[in-house]
Amino acid sequence: MSAARRLTYFAVVAMSAASRLAAADRYEASVTLRPIGGVSRVTEDVGGNDGATSTAPRATGATTYSAGGELELAYGLRNWLDVSAELVASGCTEASYDQARVSVMGAPATGHLVRTTRLAQLRAGATLRAGVAWVSTLHLGLGVGGRASSAATLAGATQGRMFETTPDGMSSGVSMDGAVVARVGLEHRLGARWGIGVAAEATHTTGFGAAPIDTASAGISLSYTWYPLLPW
């Protein structure tokens, strides 16, 4: 076989393999583990009120670090479209609010308030994909979950004496959340089964009876792929 014919043969084989891998995106199932870390803006109703138009406390945000992980199960409906479900767990470092205005046993109080938050969510969404060996992705999803908040601690001074206490309505507890997430990523296929990638995402969590949390995070991913509807 001449060099030209060998080159043509290997080019045809490579194109065939690439075409086969790309076509498999329509039928592939994958599981992805994604550790993430970032920054969260945690809001609490500790800003006092204007005393004229409203007696409700104003929402005040505090910036914290956050970390967690995502476990995603996806299935390809088209070469360019996946649908997925993912389980997410994350936690924020202690949020700190200076000059928090709250109530203690029905009386107004002001001081330094701290609280920690943990989140667990179940999300569903769709991912747009482009590429074969290197795959760029855009994911949009919605979810529901639970928020576990620690008892808030208010520290201050009254009549020259220091105090620490838990404000009214800010004891530890669990509440329900809704979430919206947008994620962009880049994945590299190591073969027919394994892949690695990087991703960045923004999440807005709205509490049903609790103030919102906004998070910007990034992470790496490891994925395993199989083809439940194909014989190979």
3-41: per-residue pLDDT in tens?
445 433 433 333 344 444 444 478 889 999 999 999 999
CB-side neighbour CA atoms (13 Å) of 138: 3
Of 45, 32, 88, 41, which is closest to residue 66 (Cα–Cα)?
41
pLDDT per residue over 40-62, tens digit each? 999 988 876 544 444 456 788 89
For 94-100, the CB contacts below 8 A with 24+ separation are: 94/64, 95/42, 95/44, 95/62, 95/64, 96/62, 97/44, 97/46, 97/60, 97/62, 100/44, 100/46, 100/47, 100/60, 100/154, 100/167
- Beta-strand relationship, 194-207 and 173-189: antiparallel
Residue spans per domain, the chain: 3-226
Q: Does domain 3-226 have CATH number 3.40.50.300?
A: no
pLDDT per residue over 185-210, tens digit each? 999 999 889 999 999 999 999 988 77
| Helix (H/G/I), strand (E/B), else coil: 176 | strand
Mean predicted confidence (pLDDT) in 80-87: 96
Separation of alpha carbons 159 and 108, rounded Å:
14
Separation of alpha carbons 161 and 174, rounded Å:
33
| DSSP 8-state secondary structure symbol assigned to residue 49 | -
Separation of alpha carbons 170 and 114, rounded Å:
11
pLDDT per residue over 133-176, tens digit each? 899 999 999 999 999 999 999 998 776 678 788 998 889 999 99
pLDDT of residue 229: 74
